[in-house]
Structure 1
Amino acid sequence: MISKMRAASAYPASVGSQKYAQFIVWWLRWLLALCLGLGGSAAAWAANAWEQTSGPEGGWINQLAVAPNLPTTLYVGTEGGGVFKSTDAGATWAPASNGLTRRLVAAVAVDPTASTTVYAGTSGGGVFKSTDGGMNWAIASPGFAGAYVLSLAIDPASPTILYAGTYGGVFKSVDGGANWAAASVGLTSTYSAALAIDPVTPTTLYVGTSGGGVFKSVDAGASWSATGLATGSVNALAIDPANPATLYAGGSMGILMMKSVDGGANWSAANGGLFQQPMSIAIDPAASSTVYAGTAGGLYRSLDAGLTWAQHGPGDWPSLGVRSVATHESNVYMGASGGVFRSMDSGASWAMANTGLTNSTVRALVIDPVSPSTVYAGIQAGGVFKSNDAGMHWSAVNTGLTVTDIRALAMDPSTPTTLYAGTWSGGIYKSVNGGASWTPSNSGMTTFTVLALAINPAAPAVLYAATNIGVFKSTNGGAAWLPSSTGLPAEYVYSLAIDPTSPSTLYAGLNTGGIYKSTDAGANWTVSRSGGEVAPLVVDSAATVYAAVRFVGLLKSTDGGASWVSAQPGLPDTPYALTIDPTTPSTLYAGASDGVFKSVDGGAHWSAAKTGLANIALYSLAVDPVTPTTIYAGTLGSSVFKSTNGAVSSESRLLDLALAVGGSPVAMTPRLVPAR
């Protein structure tokens, strides 16, 4: 609100004129309510700076929970998109994160007697609670509000009793999250990754730890003792609801899956045919000999109580990691790297169930310069998605992509249907038909970890790939690659940028080695600024370069990297994404851990430009080359957002007009921004 506005830096207007401006804002809003205009339609003025597009759908799911008393209601906790809810057994989803200030949700638990009471364990924000089915959330973890919560469990007999497993041990609440107390006596390893409660005797519970195996409590968490599995890291636990003395533990214990039939006193291997470390375990409540294990390599199923396992689930989705499995009657749900998958026939057939689940982490964005309504998004663990209508609809274009962890995209500016995708472990893929199909393009590559791509705008057959061991170069459109790292340290190269006015000049941002420069098309490199993790990098002209250095901030060079100065004022932290308006190079956009920031003076000052996009981390940005007031933002766990007005909110536009009416200069930089 205007009453909470502050100046991002010194502003010449007096306090009196500020109050007068606030009155003018109120007056202008009243006029808007009467639809009197103000130089445009009321709808245009009322718009947020950013609106979420329809996708891409999918993204990493950390936990999937079925409401015990209303099994068509499901909740998922995501990697960065908060909580989503389905009321039709996963057919459709809607965001359910209002008030959830920490959006990385590692654990979700639903009250077994009231499906509208839900708890979310967050990364660095403690526990949140909703009593209206996820419509609104409030912090519910006094005493450890900043904790990293890894697991949650609710007492089925007394749902106001709940337990939270954190980096620092187990905490317990007996009043529905209003108060918490430490409950870790006897735990020699406090990293509490998994919790399980005996459904028949809820005072008995188990915790899986890092390095200490499984611990057991028989007094509702008052004290813990080691079980027969006293070593190794346990990521997942499950108790047989038909026979609570039987439990399964999955993790890195030398043996991937262990089983106990005597309440943890003794354990035996239960991993025949299991080749991946379990991240989640679920037991079919109707047939306890059927057990599911979610792993980094997909879903496994055992039909003989863990004696033997076979890979199960959707076979047409590559690189599928499964962090959560849940069952209800014949329904089986997977929370995976590609979103939610479900089977309605006990696993006989599977289908993706991501409608409305806008939870993708977008590592790269490219816009077709000839037809700018065509946009591509590279998804971490999700492949490539394409929109032909400026983000209104998205569809996966992954045919031929056997690895879908996308870290970079590049487009041939002269032939926009030619694209390149850099992946985390599959190298480079090329498409010559607008993403309809992809083929590997790795000849000569000696590594398959690709973190950035750059194309020579004057000669698009020349492109560069930043990898974990240096830079590679192709001069024939990716048909063959050669190392191009002379002078570079042998380490991760996180970012690459080509000088658009002198394409033989390149800059590389390294993992620890700082910024390097080449003036001979990558043949040789020399240090420009030593030290620091550098990403992103962008070049404005032959002499102006911007580089984000972790723990240092955004830097700017106006002499081709010979010297660097801070361009950080107004930014809350080192940006993860950076882009330049191609028509007005003094206008920049930076994506940070808390939304988008904008500079109109070449980085001298920054102001918040995140209305509609607050509390969301950014990984990628792209400006429409034809209509540069249209910007796309790729997020951590919230898919793609779009601004069509240069990331200007109605609040800032009204304030500028009010200051103009009040006699204060409007073109000051930075403008007033909401207090954080």
Structure 2
Amino acid sequence: AAVPKVAGIAANLWTAAGPFASFAGRLQAFHVDRANPKRLLAGAATGGLWNSEDQGLSWAPVDDYLPSLAIAAIAADAVDPAILYAATSEYHYTATKGVGVLKSTNGGVTWQRLPATDPSVATQFAYIMALAAHPAAAGVLIAGTWSGVYRSVDGGANWSRVFNPPMFDGKSTPVFDVRFSPTDPNRVVASLDDGAIAYSADAGATFVQVQIVPALSQRGTAQSKIAFAPTVPGTLFASVARNGGELWGSWDYGQSWLQISAQATGAALAQNALWVDPTNANRIVVGGVDLVRSVDGGQTYVKISDWTKWPTSAHADQHAIVEDPRYDGASNASVYFASDAGVYRADVTTVTPTVGWANLNSGLNATQFKNGAASTAAGGIFVGGTQDNGTLVLQRGTDNWYKWFGGDGGTTWIDPTNAQVFYGEYVYAAVQRTTDGGATRNLEYICTGITEALKPGPGESESCGPGTTGEANFYAPTVLDPNQPGRLYVGAKSLWVTDDARASPPFWRTVKTASAVDKNYISAIAVQPGDANNVWVGHNNGEVYATANALAITPTWRVVTGLPARYVARIVFDRTNRARIYIAFGGFTANNLWLTGNGGATWAAIGSALPAAPIYALAVGLTDGQLLYAGTEVGVFASADGGTTWSASNEGPANVPVEDLVVLDDGTIAAATYGRGLYYSGGTPTGTAVEYYWARRDHYFISADPVEIAALDHSPPGGWVRTGYTFRTYAAPGAGASPVCRFYIPPAYGDSHYFSASPDECAAVRAKFPMFVYEAPNVFYIGLPSTVTGACPPGLIPVYRLWDNRADTNHRYTSSKTVRSAMLAKGYVAEGYGPEIVSMCAPP
């Protein structure tokens, strides 16, 4: 069924553009199914849950519209491995609130929020940093939250607070890690702030707090990750984030602690992971920026990864380390490492910084873009800065992604007169430039003269010249003047400008002095298209200033009043009406979008219908000023009447933060997301094929028709029920979308249905089986694999057709390799193309 468009976009009218492999994005959690070790589940920091059925060779998102895509931890029930729990939030980097704990009873196929953890009624679950399941008793869970430790003994239906002594400042104690002892489940240890832990001897019913290191009475200090040594009861280790990373040990279940070695491990507050070999307590791996390994119980370490050698080595910043359930330290020593660029696997006993690393990120796209610039030149170009995956370039015509420069990436611009000239930013206003599209990675800092730009650390180069102070936001705003593309503005404590950003080096000058409020840096800049003198800036605390003579040596600025006192995220001019200006604000509160129709004399809130969440991106139609697009914490919302009314729900591309929107024309928008990479609006609309099972007949059926699905969902008892499995389809014809025919097989031959995406096969079935009822030529649309190799087109995933090989003919259609293997083991026969015998190809 067609989905109505709002301002030209709809939730099912987005095309994921990547990147899908090397630049996979930040993971916080990782899980290996102990019942089927080929089945992996990755939890992205703001990109949701991702599933692999083939041990990491390929990935697909579980659900674009989970209640939250900020996944902090994953835990499995002790008795039933199909019962999984996922904690939501992102605490260290973005302070992204979660929605509580999600639960799955079918191995992670579908998820529902546990009502008792809804932060709207239980605020303690707004940030959950750790989650652990009892290793022997079903339904017993321990959650580490921003306000203490909580326990459930009934599978998450109810929770009780079991530990929350106030810290030195009288506020709640945050909990960063929770672990059950694998040898004595009554023993539980929780990691706290300020160098402390808490231990329990009664399976988490009560806790006692002790210091690992002396308290400093400071928040954000000496946090730790914990790991038990399964082969030595009572022994556990703590990777403490202080002094470059310290390893401490306890041999009495956490009651007392000793530092094991003075050698720094590299662990830090937001880059800390710890693993102890389940077969050998002397083999320990600690992750910080890189990974180090000890074979003598933590006395000494050797480096086993080097982020500067990526992708030959694992990427920087480690967050989780999980072994294969079959791990024995000899014939199987496989361990998975989740980092800021996805997941890698290695034999932990032999891996070195440059030998033995396997990149397992094909199809995994949790990239966190902070900004983006797009152009239609040269077949389409996108340049975007990311969280710790560098500034990336997409040559859309060839679907080629590459890295221009590394580290964190901020704002980006493409010169409209020369698409080979890009401007980017590292952090703290460290502006950069390339003149060949980044093809030769000819990184050139052009920030010398911006005295408030990046301040080098000890031993680091002076990228922006000597004496810089670093007085700018981590991601500082920049704007390329649309009237004169050589003029580049940079917002730090002051407003800086160069009139010739192409020069080597450019000359920089200040055109607006700093705010009187300390650290109230510039957060947004806008230049009026058609009037280079009309420039507006916003600050962290909500201050807004405007000038009508920006090209003067000393512009005159006026204070803009009547607006909220909170972070200014975006200022946008309506190209079709110079008096209309929009300002978007941050904060989890209502009315984050404001409009003036008279150049700032008066203002009106126009975002009351939008979620009470930050607005990160804002765009206006190029030729129709009534088309308005807001990129929020939970996706894109659209208005066709200048903000008077808004789409009733998220218009895609997922329930993900959208950091930048670029309108290429009034039908195409590039959306840079913080957790799901890059999307373009338009393309072929998508739908979902839902699978059903009738147990009495042992038959399967799929449908992508919403009316039919609704009827099946109301089947009488004993009839059709959902299996929990689905795959994506196309809802309309389009490039690469083949129509799927459907036949009804009468009772004498099976009383079931047959589907094919091949027009030739559909015609052959009609000719060979005239007794079959040809119901429709196009019940949905989907990709078709190569009839020779079975390979799917780029960006699509295989769908398998399996025949029951019985007199009552029935077929099962699935994108799950686990299901495929299970059906083949039952005697089903695969039908399709190529060695993998692929029948169809589905959108991810």
- Range into which the TM-score falls when normalised by the shorter chain: 0.7 to 0.9
1:544 partner letter: R
Relative to structure 1, is the Cα distance of residues 376 and 204 closer, same or farther in structure 2, using a 3 angstrom cutoff? same
Shift of residue 114, structure 1, vs aligned partner? 4.4
Partner of 1:517: 546
Structure-1-length-normalised TM-score: 0.81
Which position in structure 2 is the counterpart of 1:294? 287
What is the CA–CA distance in structure 2 between the aligned matches of 1:443 and 1:516, rounded to whole Å? 26
Deviations along 1:305-347, one digit per CA (max 9) or x if unpaired, are: 2223344324324982212122333223221112222224643
- Alpha carbons of 1:112 and 1:164: their partners in 2 closer, same or farther (altered >3 Å)? same
CA distance in structure 2 between the partners assigned to 1:411 and 1:298 by the alignment? 33
- Decide whether the 8 Å contact of 2:537 with 2:545 is kept in 1: yes
**In structure 2, what is the equivalent of residue 243 of structure 1?**
232
Mapped partners of 2:556, 2:224: distance in 1:
44
2:559 maps to which residue? 528
What TM-score, normalized by structure 2, do the two folds share? Answer: 0.66
Indicate yes or no: 2:272 matched with 1:279: yes
**What pairs with 1:201-600 in structure 2 (closer than 5 Å)?**
201-211=184-194, 213-227=196-210, 229=212, 231-232=214-215, 233-252=222-241, 256-269=246-259, 270-277=261-268, 279-295=272-288, 297-315=289-307, 316-317=309-310, 320-328=316-324, 329=327, 330-344=333-347, 346=349, 347-348=351-352, 349-371=356-378, 373-389=380-396, 393=399, 395-398=401-404, 401-403=405-407, 405-425=408-428, 427-436=430-439, 437=441, 438-446=443-451, 447-448=453-454, 449-467=474-492, 469-477=493-501, 479-489=505-515, 491-518=520-547, 519-521=549-551, 523-524=554-555, 526-530=557-561, 531-541=565-575, 542-550=578-586, 552-573=591-612, 574-600=614-640
Q: SS of the counterpart of 2:179? A: strand
- Is the aligned partner of 1:105 residue 2:71? yes
- Alpha-carbon offset, residue 48 of structure 1: 2.2
CA contact (8 A) 2:514 2:521 kept: no
* Correspondence list, 1:154-169, <5 A: 154-169=133-148
**Contact 2:538 2:571 (C-alpha < 8 Å) held by counterparts:** yes
3-state SS of the aligned residue for 1:613? Answer: coil
CA distance in 2, matches of 1:158, 1:546: 55
Give the CA deviation at 1:100.
3.0
Q: What is the deviation of 1:108?
A: 0.8
One-letter amino acid of the structure 2 residue matched with residue 53 of structure 1: A
Contact 1:68/1:112 (8 A) holds in 2? no
Any conservation in 2 of the 1:282–1:325 contact (CA below 8 Å)?
yes
Q: Distance in 2 between matches of 1:45 and 1:454?
A: 26
Tell me, yes or no, if the aligned pair for 1:487 and 1:526 is still in contact at 8 Å.
Answer: no
> Which SS does the other structure have where 1:607 is aligned?
coil
Q: Is the 8 A contact 2:188 2:200 kept in 1?
A: yes
Deviation at 1:572, TM superposition (A): 2.7
Report the residue type matching 2:478 in the other structure: L
User: Using a 3 Å threshold, how does the CA distance of structure 1 residues 97 and 630 change in structure 2: closer, same or farther?
Assistant: same
Q: 1:93 to 1:410 in 2, by over 3 A?
A: same
Deviations 1:493-513 (A, max 9, x none): 111111110123221111015
Amino acid of the structure 2 residue aligned with 1:389: R
Amino acid of the structure 2 residue aligned with 1:299? L
Q: Which runs of structure 2 are paired with 1:42-191 in the superposition (5 Å)?
A: 48-55=12-19, 57-97=23-63, 100-111=66-77, 114-123=80-89, 124-140=98-114, 142=116, 146=122, 147=125, 148-184=127-163, 190-191=173-174
Inter-partner Cα distance in structure 1 for 2:180 and 2:400: 41
Query: What is the rounded CA distance, in whole Å, between the counterparts of 1:208 and 1:129 in structure 2?
Result: 24
In 2, are the aligned partners of 1:378 and 1:384 still within 8 Å (CA)?
Answer: yes
CA distance 1:375–1:341, change in 2 (3 Å) = same
Deviation at residue 228 of structure 1 after TM alignment: 5.6
Q: Distance in 2 between matches of 1:419 and 1:51?
A: 24
Q: Which has the larger radius of gyration?
A: 2
1:648-663 matches, cutoff 5 A = none
Q: 1:491 to 1:226 in 2, by over 3 A?
A: closer
**Which residue of structure 1 aligns with residue 696 of structure 2?**
none
Q: Which residue of 2 aligns with 1:5?
A: none
- Check whether the contact 1:98–1:137 (CA below 8 A) recurs between aligned residues: no
**Distance (Å, rounded) in 1 between the aligned partners of 2:416 and 2:345:** 40
Structure with more relative contact order (C-alpha pairs < 8 Å, separation 6 or more):
1
1:149, 1:301 → 2: CA distance? 29
Aligned partners of 2:118, 2:140: CA distance in 1, in Å? 17
Distance 1:247 1:496 in 2: 51
Alpha-carbon distance between aligned partners in 2 of 1:364 and 1:159, rounded to the nearest angstrom: 44
Change (3 A) 1:311 1:648: closer
* Alpha-carbon distance in 1 for matches of 2:497, 2:608: 36
Comparing 194-203 with 52-61, greater Cα deviation is found at 52-61
Q: Is the 8 A contact 1:366 1:375 kept in 2?
A: yes
Per the TM alignment, residue 141 of structure 1 is displaced from its structure 2 partner at its CA by 5.5
- Residue 198 of structure 1: aligned partner: 181
Q: 1:199 to 1:428 in 2, by over 3 A?
A: same
* Higher deviation after alignment, 119-128 or 341-350: 341-350
Change (3 A) 1:181 1:79: same
| 1: CA distance, partners of 2:685 / 2:584 | 21
The residue identity in structure 2 corresponding to 1:409 is: T
Distance 1:153 1:549 in 2: 37
Structure 1's 483 and 112: CA in aligned 2 closer, same or farther, altered over 3 A?
Answer: farther
CA RMSD, Structure 1 to Structure 2 (Å): 3.3
* CA contact 2:9–2:682 (8 Å) conserved in 1: no
When residues 368 and 556 of structure 1 are mapped into structure 2, their CA distance, relative to the original with a 3 A threshold, is same
SS at match of 1:142: helix
Give the letter for the 1:298 counterpart.
D
Which deviations, in whole Å up to 9, do the C-alpha atoms of 1:348-396 show, x marking residues without a partner? 3324322121211222222224345322332222223333337x94523
**C-alpha displacement of 1:101:** 0.7
Comparing 413-422 and 130-139, the one that deviates more: 130-139
Q: Unaligned regions of 5+ residues in structure 1, if any?
A: 1-28, 39-43, 651-676
Pairwise CA distance, 1:98: 6.6
For structure 2, the residue ranges without an aligned partner over 5 or more in a row are 90-97, 216-221, 328-332, 455-473, 689-844
Secondary structure of the residue that 1:642 maps to in structure 2?
strand
Deviations 1:497-539 (A, max 9, x none): 1111012322111101521223223743523325432111112
> Contact 1:484 / 1:524 at 8 angstroms: preserved in 2?
no
Which residue of 2 is the match for residue 634 of structure 1?
Answer: 672
Structure 1 residue identity aligned to 2:617 = A
Runs (4+) off by over 6 Å = 44-47, 185-189, 645-650
- Structure-2 separation of matches of 1:185 and 1:586: 51
Q: Percent identity?
A: 27
Q: CA deviation at 1:67?
A: 2.8
Amino acid at match of 2:320: S
